[in-house]
Amino acid sequence: MDFKTKLSAAWTKNDSLLCVGLDPDIDKLPAGVDQFTFNKAIIDATADLVCAFKPNPAFYEALGVEGIGYLESTCSYIKQNYPAIPIILDSKRGDIGNTNKAYARAVFDVMQADAVTLHPYFGKDSLTPFLEYKDKGMIIMCKSSNSGGGELQDLPVEDMKLYEYVAHQVVDNWDEYGNCLLMVGATYPKELASIRAIAGTMPILVPGIGAQQGNMQAMLEAGLTADGKGLIINSSREIIFASNQPDFAEAARQKTLDARETINKYRGSAK
């Protein structure tokens, strides 16, 4: 099953546009709990409430070989126990083609991810080793959630902003196999609306609704497709670190329930 089909099925089955980011910062973990044990508990507590899980490799690589093992174990655990939930590896890769060929093998053949986040700066030809994994999702960074992203992303190009030009390139020229998506921060609903107009029904990954204080209603009104779907709305820290006590998984489940309920309430009003 290709990524977009798997994502659509998860949207429907779990009635959820919510993605949980598995970013186990070692400074915030409950005492005596390693990254994999932590992730396993979070996954078990939330798998019926989400449309995707999104590990960020940085938090694992910070522990060296041990952490990379935890990441691989996390991806394997999801594949074995919750195969209907897609894994997005939020590695934001971007380099020349030969290096990207190695990155693509690591993401899809070793970590078994269903999708990956990518930088567009090197152009389409550099991303070809990723794009040729036709059943996988390629989530291209378009407009980031951080306040300084506009330093480059808002620069004028022809008669539009650079982030709009990137969206046009992905939609019009890069999506040869129908496996491209875009990534737009929830903190910029006006820009998200502009990108949705360019992207049509292409799914968009939206980080920034939790600790980064994205406006949920404005984001949904800007980004939903006509069928009330089209978004992968990520929350990481606000969910997984809802508690640093032994009840951390139960607290994460409650936060996930609350977030899904809030999203679905606004989905109904935004349709």
Catalytic residues: 92
For residues 118 and 139, the answer to whether their CB atoms sit within 8 Å is yes
For residues 67 and 35, the answer to whether their CB atoms sit within 8 Å is yes
Helices 189-199, 162-169: inter-axial angle, 10-degree rounding = 30
Of the candidates 260, 185, 261, which has an alpha carbon nearest to the alpha carbon of residue 223?
Answer: 185
Beta strands in the chain (DSSP E): 18-22, 52-55, 88-93, 115-118, 137-143, 156-157, 160-161, 180-184, 204-206, 231-235
- In angstroms, the CA 58 to CA 35 distance is 13
Of the candidates 204, 267, 198, 199, which has an alpha carbon nearest to the alpha carbon of residue 230?
Answer: 204
Residue corresponding to tokens 């107009």: 197
Q: What is the 3-state secondary structure (H, E, C) of 30-45?
A: CCCCCHHHHHHHHHHH
The DSSP line for 189-243 is HHHHHHHHHHHTT--EEE--SSTT---HHHHHHHH--TTS--EEEEE-HHHHTS-
Name 126's Cβ contacts closer than 8 Å, sequence gap at least 6.
Answer: 94, 95, 96, 97, 100
